[in-house]
Amino acid sequence: MDNVTHSLLGAALAQAACLPGVVSALDPRTGGLNERQASAVRSLFMFTSVLANNFPDADLLLVPLTPGTLGYLLHHRGHTHVFLAVLPLALLVVLAALVLRAFPVVKTLPGSIWKAVFGLAVVGGVAHIGADSMNSYGVHPFWPFSGAWSYGDAVFIVEPLFWIVLGGYVATRSRSFIARALPAVLVGAVVAFGLRVGLLPWPALTVLGLALFWTLVSGLVLFRARPWAHAASTFFCAGGIVGAFFALGAVARAHVREQMSERAPRSALLDVVSDPLPSNPLCWNILTVERLPGQGPNAAQGPGDETIVTRSGRVALFPGVFPLSSCPRREGEGVALQPSTVAPSEALAFDGEASFSLGAMRARVNADCALHAWTRFTRVPVFTFSPDAAHDLRYARHQKESFSRLALSAVPTAPENCPPNVPNWTPPRADIWER
């Protein structure tokens, strides 16, 4: 997810931690803190939680360990996005929070506050990994026990719904004018941008309006009288958004599998990648990876040589309500795809496809250590020629120079020039690269 969402989630967790009964020292019935100390605790919790919810992205500092394109692909969402790293990162966050002891009032806080600070740091690390696991970029949270990538394929990487729900909660419970105004400014800017580029049709605006209505009503009704109910309604709403997108994403992928079994019966469907439009659960961008035996549709192969076909398309979950023609195509200046050979249906259309000889590219992957390292990230491989380059179709369609693009040399990378510090992530497409 984007760092605004991570920050708002951290701020919301910090606000919830300040509710009566969570930390005894903050409870007016049992605690002995004066107002100045209580204010310091709120600031300390906010600093800790927001930092902890963003701290795993410090892995960007590790990108230079592997030069070129591979550095970002292999080290972002890498070793700091695993559950085994949560406790060490939490300790670093607490050490950063200890800097605030330079303020005299912070030195007077009881030890129970610092236990709560450590707890918030741990929760923040887990929350970051959980949030990043919801989209199609993926994480590998169980390393070193497993290097496999885990993909949610459910939530767009920048989702304004979370900004409304979490930002609304933070704003209503904050005592700072800036903290109250900032979420509204962010949401307004995103909605204005979405309207300008056509990413927010009426279903998205309807969902955004409902989220805003829920946020306003829960804030007005529950803010003063029932602070616990206010927090519960906020996280219930956020969880409901996640659950709805996961459920509808599963429906979209199941529809693709069903349609492909009828319209492309020769293909072995290896993977379906799904991404919703922002705040629009009725339209989904779809990518497929398929394996074809024998002669391929767009490439000249010898007898018996298998073909890998990747396709880019769209799914309309309820075409009678919101037709497929209203779901925008994945346009861009990246990889040029061939027209799709799969006939469209009322709810599914492929806008383009690409293919490559599995035997030839597998041999090239095994002979080129840089390309082999690239496979440890790439989920939807596409190859272009003149100039030769490898791409991940998840990102190559909408960026002229995708960050997933690896330039290929006519001569395989020599062993002495192999990229250093390559993590042992399991290649997402091990089902095609490994015999």
pLDDT at position 30 over 60: no
Q: Using an 8 Å Cβ cutoff, are 317 and 284 in contact? A: yes
Check residues 131 and 111 and name the one with the higher pLDDT.
Answer: 131
Task: Report which residue type is found at 230.
Answer: H
Closest CA to 404 of 292, 287, 314, 278: 287
pLDDT at position 346 over 90: yes
d(CA 92, CA 307): 48
What is the model's pLDDT at position 205?
81
Token pair belonging to 398: 């909408």
What is the model's pLDDT at position 295?
56
Closest CA to 306 of 271, 355, 354, 358: 358
Cis peptide preceding 319, ω within 30 of 0: no
Q: Which residues contact 32 (CB under 8 A, 6 or more apart)?
A: 25
Mean pLDDT comparison of 22-26, 71-75, 364-368, 400-404, highest-scoring range:
71-75
Give mean pLDDT, residues 238-249. Answer: 96
> From the CA atom positions of the chain, what is the Rg in Å?
24
What is the model's pLDDT at position 384?
86
pLDDT at position 179 over 90: no
pLDDT at position 246 over 80: yes
Going by the DSSP 8-state scheme, the letter that residue 420 receives in this structure is S
Give mean pLDDT, residues 21-30. Answer: 62
pLDDT at position 230 over 50: yes
- Give 187-218 pLDDT, tens digit per residue: 777 777 777 766 778 788 888 888 888 887 87
Closest CA to 171 of 229, 228, 223: 223
Mean confidence (pLDDT) of the chain? 87
pLDDT at position 385 over 90: no
- Give 249-290 pLDDT, tens digit per residue: 999 999 999 999 998 888 899 999 999 988 898 999 999 999
